[in-house]
Each structure stands twice: as C-alpha cells, then as structure tokens.
Amino acid sequence: MNPVVLSSDNAGVNSQASTFRPPCEHYENFPVASWLCPPGLRAPIAAIYWFSRTADDIADEGTASADHRLAALAAYRDDLDRASRGLTPGPRWSEVFGQLAPMIARFDLPTALLANLLDAFEQDVRYTAAARRYQTDAELHDYCRLSANPVGRLLLHLYGIHDTAWLTHSDQICTALQLINFWQDVGRDVAQDRWYPSVQRMTQHGVTDTDLLRDQPHLGASAMLASYTADARALMLQGAPLARQIRGRAGWELRLVVQGGLRILDKIAAMDHQTWRTRPRLTKLDFPLLLWRAIVPANSAAP
C-alpha cells in the first residue's frame, strides 16, 4: 500500500535495517517536494514523506511475518509519540525522526494525522495476513480516510489552510488518488494477496478471484474496473477546484498531481481497464500534456 503522493525506496524490513536511504526503486506517479513546492515547505514535506515511506516499507517490503511487521509499526508509533512530546525517539529510525521531530515542533504538525497513516498500514498488514476482504465500497473509502486523506490535510496545514470546504476538496482528491493507485495496481496487488476491489463490487459484476489472477481478458472484470475508475474520476473532479483556489507554486503542483491522476485513468481506459494484466504508468512523454491541461483547462477533465 502506497500512501498518496508519498513513495520512495524500501527501508529493509527483512533485515530490520534502520538505514535512511534516498529514493531509487519505487515508481512515482506524483511529485513530492518538487521544484514547484514552496521552498520554505520542502523540509517539512520531505520529513512527512520519509516518515510515511518508511512506515509503508515496514508494512510492505521484505519477507517479515505479519507479527514482526505489526511489532515494528508499534515501535514506530511509539517513536512518533515521543517525537510529538518533545522526547528523544529510539535509535532505530533516528534519521527519520531526526528530520520529523523538529518539523513537528516548528510547524505544529497535527500528529494525529500521522498516526492515522500508521493505522492504515497496520490495517493493511492485518487484512493481508488474514486474507480479509473489503466487503463494501464504503469500507474501502473508510480505509482511504486513513491511508490518503491525512496527506492532503497535512499539506493544507502547512499552507495555513483550515477552511472546511477546502479540506473536503482535499479529501476528495486524496481518496481519488488512492483509488486510482488501487485500480492501476490490481495485477501487482492481487499477486501479493492484497485485494482492494470490494466483495460487493466483484459480486455485482460476476468477477471471481481467478478472473483477476489470469492474464486473460474478462468482460466482467473490465466492467468492474470501468465503474471503479468512473467513480474515481468523478471524485477527483469534485475536489479539483481546490487546485485553482490555492495560489502560487503549491497550486500549480496540485494541478499537476490532479492531472497525473486523470491521465492514469485515461491510460486505464485505453487498455479496456485490464489492469490485472498490465500496469499503466506515467512517463516523461506525458508531462507536456499534463502541463497543458494544468494551464488550459479546456474540458471537464481538467481542474
């Protein structure tokens, strides 16, 4: 499970390493602390990024058992609690919290939102270990409330934005991005026993587990992914006005993030929604189109 907008190199769960390394392996859909980000906010955004990335890797990477992953996440949560109270975290993830702790103090970061991300990572570990499924789409959206929405709310906090309507738009964008990531990664996820299509939606379209595990076309699976991606697009477009309400570099970066999500949806549609067979991805060749759409919203697909 990747937190929205946050992604980077693995932290070595199998070796239980605490080495703090630069990003080099994980594929990125959306920019983090990019050149468009306000320079004064790059440090706290990078600190949040590394906190989330490392926790994600504890939950996902390597061959550690579920019990070991949950124990590591509990220790990580304890370090977050210590950092939030101005105490010295343990040495295991000293470079992560060495960056994060000063940002918590300087920017009064709401650590409850960071704890929400850990709730999501722990839920992912438990669900995967128990082969548990999301029974309804409402349950899946509640998971996104923990795994994705805190990221947008943390960024708005850094921008000094606390308006309720803007926070709602942020939640819509972040949930949409998380869902887009799920539907983009269906093949990769189901191969690792991570199932995000709900039992409700699979039953509605007559889709079985086997249908998503075979490299073959399936009309029901295509229809299911088409309905899911339509929902994600609608949600993204509901939140997209936020990208033009935020001024300056932050607003431009958000426009590109929104357009990146919409572009992935375009690519999923172009392959008849068969993401259990092939994973679509953005490339450098997509950037001119994203930039054009961010500058000139010529159709309903642009914010």
Q: According to the 3-state scheme, what is the secondary structure of 255-276?
A: HHHHHHHHHHHHHHHHCCCCCC
The long-range contacts involving 100-107, CB below 8 angstroms and separated by at least 24 positions, are 100/47, 100/48, 100/50, 100/51, 102/47, 103/43, 103/44, 103/47, 103/48, 106/44, 107/44, 107/157, 107/158
- With a cut of 60, say whether residue 298 has pLDDT above it: no
Question: What integer is the mean pLDDT of 80-85?
Answer: 97
192, 213 contact by CB (below 8 A):
no
List pLDDT tens digits, range 228-269: 999 999 999 999 999 988 888 888 889 999 999 999 999 999
Average pLDDT over the chain reads: 87
Alpha helix (H) ranges present in 192-247? 199-204, 209-213, 219-239, 242-245
- For 177-216, the pLDDT digits (tens) are 999 999 999 999 999 899 999 999 999 999 999 999 999 9
Supply the pLDDT for residue 141. Answer: 97
Structure tokens at 257: 């993030």
Q: What does the pLDDT average to over 291-295?
A: 89
User: What domains sit in the chain, N to C, each tagged with a CATH number?
Assistant: 1-22+32-132 (no CATH), 133-303 (1.10.600.10)
Q: Tell me the residue type at 18.
A: S
Lowest mean pLDDT among 29-43, 136-150, 176-190, 242-256: 29-43
Taking the alpha carbons of 32, 37, 43, 48 in that order, is the dihedral positive or negative? negative
Residue 3: pLDDT over 70: no
User: Residue 297: what pLDDT?
Assistant: 62
d(CA 270, CA 38): 35
In this model, does residue 16 exceed pLDDT 70?
no
